[in-house]
């Protein structure tokens, strides 16, 4: 299997996120992607390819041009404001976020000119700081996904895009959830334009609210997600089972929320429902948003999946018989992340289960 990878991901390396009002070290770190890269490099089933540039058009096909423009300008704006210097943290996050109730019954808010106002206009939470290289890393991640999509269109049966920061939480007109640009959505729209109907299977612990929002009114892109019930888990306000799409997209969203402590058996039962729906979509290709934060030791999740079940998940996904683009999303238990990804991908390839020791 070809793996598309760009070392530019290391340019996005914030130090601190804020959860529940508490500053803490980032969970979304460059070591995540590097642990996967090392695990795959040690397995002869995988070879690496560099991404090629695809320009802005596939990005603005799924994102508001104003969002993309802000991300491009954000760090220089912050520096001009005095941020990123010795007296302030070398990262940039909002202290005020636009909430719809602020202007209820009024016209939409205009985008402010002040740097801190602009980031609160485009970012919806406090866990995704920007640093000097964030935009470059995010653009590189999109090119990883699109290059992997090109390889699929050329006839590869399965391709893996190893990218970060993750993107499936980014809707059309906002960023957050550790992500800046939704490369899974960009690749899905790109494939839909060139190949026809596409199915997206999102297996991240957290619901891919951004991908759902982008395709919620489209019938050509089916979005199916297995995730923690939003009644208890981030992103809280989207991902419910009764969200099925609207307009032309009605019936083309399927959410399968899962309970805390979700076991291998419960997960596989839900996976079979997801695969049955995908099989009925008559898709030309499948895009998998591969989150491995479903693992039982993940520090920000509460499922109980074991490494070996990832091989079975990959095997069952392969049973669809569809050209499959796998794009990395979450997964935050770094010591096991590389082995979990390798095991999932080996299942997809039809390679035997081959468990290896946990890395340091």
Tens of pLDDT, residues 30-83:
999 999 999 999 999 999 999 999 999 999 999 999 999 999 999 999 998 877
pLDDT at 88 over 60: no
Look at residue 153 and tell me if it is in a domain. yes
Please give the tally of structural domains in the chain: 1
Residue 103 inside a domain? The answer is no
CATH of the domain at 286: 3.40.800.20
The rounded distance, in Å, linking the Cα atoms of 343 and 351 is 9
How does the average pLDDT of the chain come out, rounded? 96
Asked whether residue 316 is domain-assigned, the answer is yes
> Which of 210, 72, 208, 58 minimizes the C-alpha distance to 145?
58
Question: Could you tell me if residue 99 is inside a domain?
Answer: no
106-131 CB burial, b ≥16 within 10 A, e <16? eeeeeeeeebbbbbbbbbbbbbbbbb
For 37, the domain range is 2-63+133-349
What positions carry a catalytic annotation? 169
* C-alpha span between 226 and 201 (Å, rounded): 8
4 has pLDDT over 70: yes
Does the pLDDT at position 84 exceed 70?
Answer: no
Q: How far apart are CA 27 and CA 37, in angstroms?
A: 18
Q: Where does the pLDDT of residue 308 fall: very low under 50, low under 70, confident under 90, or very high at 90 and above?
A: very high
Q: Is residue 240 part of a domain?
A: yes
pLDDT, residue 161, reads 98
**DSSP secondary structure letter of residue 22:** E
Average pLDDT over residues 204-224: 98
pLDDT at residue 357, as a whole number: 75
CB neighbours of 201 closer than 8 A, spacing ≥ 6? 224, 225, 274, 275, 278, 286, 287, 288, 289, 317
For 6, other C-beta atoms within 10 Å of its C-beta total 22
Which pTM does this prediction carry?
0.97
Q: Are 227 and 209 a contacting pair, CB within 8 Å?
A: no
Mean pLDDT of 101-118: 95
């Amino acid at each position: 299997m070809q793996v598309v990878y760009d070392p530019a991901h290391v340019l996005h390396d914030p130090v601190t996120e804020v959860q529940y009002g508490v500053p803490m070290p980032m969970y979304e770190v460059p070591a995540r992607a590097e642990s996967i890269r090392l695990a795959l490099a040690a397995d002869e089933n995988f070879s690496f390819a560099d991404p090629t540039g695809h320009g802005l058009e596939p990005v603005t096909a799924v994102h508001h041009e104003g969002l993309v423009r802000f991300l491009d300008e954000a760090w220089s704006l912050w520096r001009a404001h005095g941020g990123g210097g010795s007296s302030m943290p070398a990262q940039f996050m909002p202290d005020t976020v636009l909430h719809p109730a602020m202007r209820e019954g009024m016209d939409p808010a205009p985008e402010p000119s002040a740097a801190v106002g602009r980031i609160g206009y485009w970012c919806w939470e406090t866990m995704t700081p920007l640093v000097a290289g964030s935009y470059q890393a995010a653009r590189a991640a999109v090119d990883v996904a699109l290059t992997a999509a090109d390889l699929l269109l050329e006839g590869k049966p399965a391709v893996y895009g190893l990218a970060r920061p993750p993107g499936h939480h980014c809707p059309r007109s906002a960023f957050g959830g550790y992500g800046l640009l939704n490369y899974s959505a960009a690749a899905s729209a790109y494939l839909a334009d060139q190949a026809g109907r596409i199915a997206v299977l999102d297996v991240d612990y957290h619901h891919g609210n951004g991908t759902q929002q982008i395709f919620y009114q489209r019938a050509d892109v089916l979005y199916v997600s297995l995730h923690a019930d939003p009644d208890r888990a981030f992103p809280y306000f989207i991902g419910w089972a009764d969200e099925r799409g609207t307009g032309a997209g009605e019936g083309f969203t399927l959410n399968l929320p899962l309970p805390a402590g979700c076991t291998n058996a419960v997960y596989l039962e839900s996976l079979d429902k997801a695969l049955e729906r995908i099989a009925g979509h008559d898709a030309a290709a499948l895009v998998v948003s591969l989150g491995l934060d479903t693992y039982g030791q993940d520090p920000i999740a509460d499922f109980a999946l074991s490494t070996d079940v990832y091989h079975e998940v990959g095997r069952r996904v392969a049973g669809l018989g569809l050209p499959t683009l796998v794009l990395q999303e979450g997964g935050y238990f770094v010591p096991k992340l590389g082995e979990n990804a390798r095991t999932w991908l080996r299942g997809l390839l039809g390679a035997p289960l081959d468990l290896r020791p946990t890395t340091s």
